[in-house]
Amino acid sequence: MERVSWQPLALLLLAAAAAVASGTEVGYDGRSMVIDGERRLLISGSIHYPRSTPEMWPDLIRKAKEGGLDAIETYVFWNGHEPRRRQYNFEGSYDIVRFFKEVQDAGMYAILRIGPYICGEWNYGGLPAWLRDISGMQFRMHNNPFEQEMETFTTLIVDKLKEAKMFAGQGGPIILSQIENEYGNVMDKLNNDESASEYIHWCAAMANKQNVGVPWIMCQQDQDVPPNVINTCNGFYCHDWFPKRTDIPKIWTENWTGWFKAWDKPDFHRSAEDIAFSVAMFFQTRGSLQNYYMYHGGTNFGRTSGGPYITTSYDYDAPLDEYGNIRQPKYGHLKDLHNVLKSMEKILLHGDYKDTTMGNTNVMVTKYTLDNSSACFISNKFDDKEVNVTLDDGATHVVPAWSVSILPDCKTVAYNSAKIKTQTSVMVKRPGVETVTDGLAWSWMPENLHPFMTDEKGNFRKNELLEQIATSGDQSDYLWYRTSLEHKGESNYKLHVNTTGHELYAFVNGKLVGRHYAPNGGFVFQMETPVKLHSGKNYISLLSATIGLKNYGALFEMMPAGIVGGPVKLVDTVTNTTAYDLSNSSWSYKAGLAGEYRETHLDKAKDRSQWRGGHHPGAPPLHLVQGDL
Ligand SMILES: *[C@@H]1O[C@H](CO)[C@@H](O)[C@H](O)[C@H]1NC(C)=O
Ligand SMILES: *[C@@H]1O[C@H](CO)[C@@H](O)[C@H](O)[C@H]1NC(C)=O
Ligand SMILES: *[C@@H]1O[C@H](CO)[C@@H](O)[C@H](O)[C@H]1NC(C)=O
Ligand SMILES: *[C@@H]1O[C@H](CO)[C@@H](O)[C@H](O)[C@H]1NC(C)=O
Ligand SMILES: *[C@@H]1O[C@H](CO)[C@@H](O)[C@H](O)[C@H]1NC(C)=O
Ligand SMILES: CC(=O)N[C@H]1CO[C@H](CO)[C@@H](O)[C@@H]1O
C-alpha cells in the first residue's frame, strides 16, 4: 500500500508545483502594468454579471475577446450578494466565481472592482439597505459600524475568489482590484472633511491587508491619494488627465461608451468615431490600460437606482447591445483600433516619446521611437476643420476634424478614428416581425388591492407618518399608508399630501382619486386632488412607491423617501383652510404589493389559472389590473 500511494502523492506534489509555476506575477511601473516581467498595453471592457444571465456569459466574453479586448472588468454587487445581513446569495446571475471562471476559460484577464460602494446606477449604489439599521452607521465615512461591515464583505469576496484560485498569482485571471469608487467626488463635496480623509486611508490599508497579490486601484481619487494604491481616471476623455505620481501607469477605468437611460429621457448615443477618438488620444498621451464602461451594459433585472430613475435597460449604447448582439459600426471600428494599438505595444510602452504641437495646441504630433523604429499619432481637436500636417519626412497627411491618425511606422496611416471601415449594419425591423409584435398576446393578473382599502390589518399601526425605506426595510419599492375617519354627511374636500417621493397613488374608499410622481431627480412634491367623503367611516389609502434608492452623492443615505411626517390634510374647498389634519391619525402600514407576496413574476403553476386575457394586444385596462375593489 505504501509504495502504491507514493506515486499519486508525488504527482500531487508536481501538480501543486505546476500551479505555483503557472501563477502570473503582476506589478506596474511608470509606463504600464507589468505582467510576468513584461510591460503590457491592455484593453478591457465592463460586463456586469447580474445584468445578464450565466447562459449569456460565455458568448459575451467570447465576443469581447474577438473585439480585441484583453480583460473583462466588473463591479461586485453587495446588496445582491447579501440581501439580508449574513444571508448570502451566490447563485445564478450572482455566481461571481463562475463568472470569473468563464473569463479565465476564454483566456482573458479580469479586473475586480469590489467597491463595495459601486454607484453603477444600482439600488443604493450597491450598499444593502439593512446597513441603515446598525446604530452609529454613516455610509462611506470613518466610523466603526460602516468600516466593519465593509471589511467583512470585502474579506468574504476576496476569500471566495482566493479559494477558487482566481487571482493572477494563483494562476487566475484577476490582475487588478479596486477599493471604493469615485470617492474623490464625495471629498470635493465635503470640502476634504477629516473623517472622509481618514476613511479613504483606512480603505487603502484594509485593501492592502487582504494580500491579493495584485495592485489596488482607486478611481476618480485625484486628491489625498493613499499610498499603495493607483489612482485612475473615469470619464468620456482622459487624455488631459495624468496620475499624481510618476511611478504609476496611466489607467482609464471608465471610458463611457454611451450613457445610461432614464425614464422620460431620450436614448443616449455616442458615436463610434468619438469613442475611437478618445481611445486613440488616450494611448497617444501615454495611456496603457483602458476599460470601456460598458462593453456590454445588459439589463437591470433587479431594482435600479432612484436618482435619477433608471430604466430596466442598461444598454449604454455599448459595443454589445442589451441582448448581447454586436453593435456595428461601433464594435468593428474599435476592434480595428485595438489591432493597430496592439501592433504598437512594444514601442508605445518602451519607446522614447515627444509631443509636438503643430502651430496650434489643437493639433499635436506624438512620435515614439525605439531602436531604429518609430510610430506616430497625429491628433486634431478642432471639431470643425480638417488640418494638413507635415511630418519629419516631408510627407503631408490630411487629418479630419476631431480625429486621430495612427501611423505605426510614421509613414502610412493605418487608422483614423473618424474613418469607419467597418461595414455598417443597420438593424431593420422586418414588416413580418412587426406584425407579430403587434399581435403579441398579453395576459394579466389583477393586483388585489382590497386588503389595503378596508379595516383588514396592516403589519402595524403608528400615530405618525413614517419614513418609507426604514419602514419597508427596502424589501419592496411599495409602502401602503392607510387611515380612516368618521364623517357626518357628504362633503367635498381637497386631499393634500406632502411627500418626499418618488410616486404616490391616493385612494379614498377604494377609488383611485389621484396619482403623481416627482419629476426626474426632484423628490419632494405635494399632491392635491378633489375627494368626496360619505357619511360614516371613510378610508384613505396612500400607496407610496420608490423607483429604487438613490445611488449617488455625498451622504445619500440621509435622503428620505415616502410621506415622512406629511402633512396629509383634507382642505375645505370653499375656505381653503384645513378641515382635518390627518398627519397624527392612526396610520396602518403594509410594505409590498399582493403580487410580490404571491411572487407572481415566478409564474408559479398554482397561479396559472389566475391569469386572464391572452388575446388582446397591449396592456389591459386599469380597472382589470386592479381587480374588484
Ligand atoms: C539601427 O540601424 C543601424 C544602421 O542602419 C544599424 O547598424 C543598427 O544595427 C540598427 N539597430 C538596431 C537595434 O536594429
Ligand atoms: C489639405 O491638402 C489637400 C490637398 O492635399 C487640400 O485639398 C486641402 O484643401 C488641404 N486642407 C487644408 C485645411 O489646408
Ligand atoms: C414637505 O415635506 C418636506 C420633507 O419632510 C418638508 O421639508 C417640507 O417643508 C414639506 N412641505 C410642505 C409644503 O409641507
Ligand atoms: C390655498 O392655500 C394654499 C396654502 O395655504 C395656497 O398655496 C393655495 O394657493 C391656496 N389655493 C387657493 C385656491 O386659494
Ligand atoms: C403631530 O405630532 C407632532 C409630534 O408630536 C407634533 O409636533 C405636531 O404638531 C402634531 N400635528 C398635528 C396636526 O397634530
Ligand atoms: C470625468 C469626466 O470626464 N466627466 C465628464 C463626463 O461627461 C459628462 C457629460 O458630458 C461631463 O459633464 C463630465 O464632466
Domain boundaries, the chain: 23-350, 354-416, 450-592
Q: What is the pLDDT of residues 190-224, one digit of tens each?
A: 877 899 999 999 999 999 999 999 999 998 888 88
Q: Is 235 touching ligand 6 by the criterion CB < 6 Å? A: yes
Ligand 2 site-directed mutation target among 386, 388, 399, 403, most atoms within 8 Å of CB: 388
Higher pLDDT, 262 or 152: 152
Higher pLDDT, 346 or 188: 346
Q: What would the grid cell of residue 237 be?
A: 476623455
**pLDDT over threshold 50, residue 229:** yes
Q: What is the pLDDT of residues 405-429, one digit of tens each?
A: 999 999 999 999 999 987 766 555 4
The pLDDT, as a whole number, for residue 558 is: 83
Between the ranges 125-139, 250-264, 432-446, where is the mean pLDDT highest? 125-139
CB atoms within 10 A of CB 470: 15
User: Of these residues, 182, 273, 503, 557, which one is catalytic?
Assistant: 182
The pLDDT, as a whole number, for residue 5 is: 37
Q: Is 524 touching ligand 3 by the criterion CB < 6 Å? A: yes
CA distance 625 to 628: 9
Instruction: Report the percentage of the chain scoring pLDDT > 70.
Output: 90
The rounded Å distance from CA 369 to ligand 1 centre is 13
Helix residue ranges, H only, 51-129: 57-66, 78-81, 96-105
Q: For residue 274, what are the CA distances in angstroms to 117, 261, 404, 420?
A: 30, 19, 10, 11
The rounded Å distance from CA 567 to ligand 5 centre is 10
Q: For residue 363, what are the CA distances in angstroms to 30, 356, 448, 458?
A: 26, 9, 66, 68
Topology annotation, domain 23-350 = TIM Barrel (3.20.20)
Instruction: Report the percentage of the chain scoring pLDDT > 90.
Output: 65
The residue whose C-alpha atom lies closest to atom 1 belonging to ligand 2 is: 388
The rounded Å distance from CA 293 to ligand 1 centre is 42
Q: Is 91 a catalytic residue?
A: no
Q: Which amino acid is at 552?
A: Y
Q: Is 575 touching ligand 1 by the criterion CB < 6 Å? A: no
Q: Is 254 a catalytic residue?
A: yes
User: Of these residues, 254, 273, 322, 557, which one is catalytic?
Assistant: 254
Which is it for the CA torsion 113, 117, 119, 125, positive or negative?
A: positive
- The CATH H-level superfamily of 450-592 is Galactose-binding domain-like (2.60.120.260)
Q: What is the pLDDT of residues 377-405, one digit of tens each?
A: 999 999 999 999 999 999 999 999 999 99
Q: Is 374 touching ligand 1 by the criterion CB < 6 Å? A: no
Per-residue confidence band for 552, with pLDDT thresholds at 50, 70 and 90: confident
Q: Which atom of ligand 6 is nearest to the CA of 237?
A: 3
Which residues, 6+ apart, have CB-to-CB distance to 332 below 8 Å?
326, 420, 421, 422, 423
- Nearest to residue 471, comparing CAs of 564, 378, 364, 572? 564
The pLDDT, as a whole number, for residue 14 is: 42
Q: Is 395 touching ligand 2 by the criterion CB < 6 Å? A: no
Angle formed at CA 234 by CA 229 and CA 240, multiple of 5 degrees: 95
Ligand 5 site-directed mutation target among 564, 568, 584, 585, most atoms within 8 Å of CB: 584
Between the ranges 184-193, 475-484, 614-623, where is the mean pLDDT highest? 475-484
- Nearest to residue 493, comparing CAs of 534, 542, 453? 534
Q: Is 386 touching ligand 2 by the criterion CB < 6 Å? A: yes
**pLDDT over threshold 90, residue 453:** no
Decide: 147 and 202 in contact? Cβ < 8 Å. yes
Helix residue ranges, H only, 238-383: 272-284, 330-343, 345-350
**pLDDT over threshold 80, residue 68:** yes
The pLDDT, as a whole number, for residue 15 is: 41
Q: Is 38 left (phi over 0), alpha (psi -120 to 50) or beta?
A: beta
Q: 23-350 and 450-592 share one CATH topology?
A: no
CA distance 107 to 176: 16
The pLDDT, as a whole number, for residue 142 is: 96
The rounded Å distance from CA 374 to ligand 1 centre is 13
Q: Is 499 touching ligand 3 by the criterion CB < 6 Å? A: no
Mean pLDDT of the chain: 88
Supply the pTM of this predicted model. 0.85
Q: Is 578 touching ligand 5 by the criterion CB < 6 Å? A: no
